[in-house]
Amino acid sequence: MKSNVPHFFKSWVLSAAMLATAGASGSALADTHYAFQSISSPKDPTFTQLLGINNDQTIAGYFGSGADAAHPNKGFTLILPNTFIDQNFPDSVQTQVVAINHRGETGGFYVDVAGTTHGFLQAGGRFLTVDAPNTAFNQILGLNDLDQAAGYSSVDPAGQTGQRAFVRNADGTFTYLNFPAGTGNSQATGINDSRWVSGFYVDGANVTHGFLLKGKKFKPLNFPKATQTQALGLNNAGQVVGSYTDNAGGNHGFVYQKGHYQSIDDPNGVGTTIINGTNDHGQIVGFYVDGEGNTVGFTGTPQRHHHHH
């Protein structure tokens, strides 16, 4: 029995078109050095993704590739260094815990027995299904401390087409985001306490761009010389994290702040590093693929006072 699993990370269609890049930026921000720690779920050492981290260093994630019925996505929260707490939507077949706020509330998505993907929010052990009206597919991907959530919906039951980024407001209403003309799929991946929203969208030429929405100010995020860019999270300091694809097809993490992009690869990664989340201390979480093909979670903690000239 093969389950058709919606993945947060769709396989990217690489485009030969290079993204427009800004000219040489004289940014004063120096690159940050990180201390990396690899983290694998003891229940499935072959596949762990870390997707969010709050200021108490509690992490949201999941294990299990979802590639077949024997390896479903199963959600967890993780209290460092190694206390895994299962968190799955009741009676679901699969769950990914994607977002966590500073109160420890979480959000993500689950697949029910009928195969439908729903968004959810969890607070104090109580789960709430979060689906935008008149949709067939929903995912919650970000959460702030003002009871706002970021995500996307689709009328496609498989969630592959017609993705529309939204913010779910504290009163339970949904606000869909506006994108440039010709935009295809879009996802909102993070929202901070200033109500800034991160995410990504696919343009008419099938190129994926990250974005940062600050009030009415819409800023596309394109890692220099990358073929595709996805912004996957942000913090209250205005740092945005995500991933980009180089023209050789490799995937790398990045941190963006005030016009400065830093490329980040976990030292154990082989061709793939993705950064999914960050907290207000600048700690990052994500995953890499190792030489054996395992997907391994990681944390990265900024090391202060390292200066290279």
We report the CATH number of the domain holding residue 147 as 2.120.10.30
Average of per-residue pLDDT across 230-248: 98
Query: Domain for residue 19, yes or no?
Result: no
Mean pLDDT score of the chain, rounded to an integer?
A: 91
**Residue percentage of the chain with pLDDT more than 70:** 89
Pairing, β 197-202 against β 186-191: antiparallel
Average of per-residue pLDDT across 142-167: 98
Query: Domain for residue 237, yes or no?
Result: yes
Q: What are phi and psi of 264, to 5 degrees?
A: -135, 130
Query: Residue 230's domain spans which residues?
Result: 33-303
Query: Domain for residue 12, yes or no?
Result: no
List all residues 6 or more positions away from 246 whose beta carbon is below 8 Å from its beta carbon. 225, 226, 227, 252
pLDDT at 91: 97
Average of per-residue pLDDT across 70-89: 96
pLDDT band at 30 (very low <50, low <70, confident <90, very high): confident
pLDDT at 29: 72
Query: Domain for residue 3, yes or no?
Result: no
Query: Domain for residue 72, yes or no?
Result: yes
Of residues 81 and 230, more confidence is placed in: 230
Taking the model in full, what pTM does it have?
0.90
Query: Domain for residue 252, yes or no?
Result: yes
Cα separation, 1 vs 35, in Å, equals 41
Query: Domain for residue 289, yes or no?
Result: yes
Average of per-residue pLDDT across 253-277: 97
**Residue percentage of the chain with pLDDT more than 90:** 88
pLDDT at 305: 61
Q: Of the given ranges (16-20, 44-48, 137-141, 196-200), which has the lowest mean pLDDT?
A: 16-20
Query: Domain for residue 25, yes or no?
Result: no
pLDDT band at 148 (very low <50, low <70, confident <90, very high): very high
pLDDT at 184: 97
pLDDT at 207: 97
| Total number of domains in the chain | 1
Of residues 19 and 199, more confidence is placed in: 199
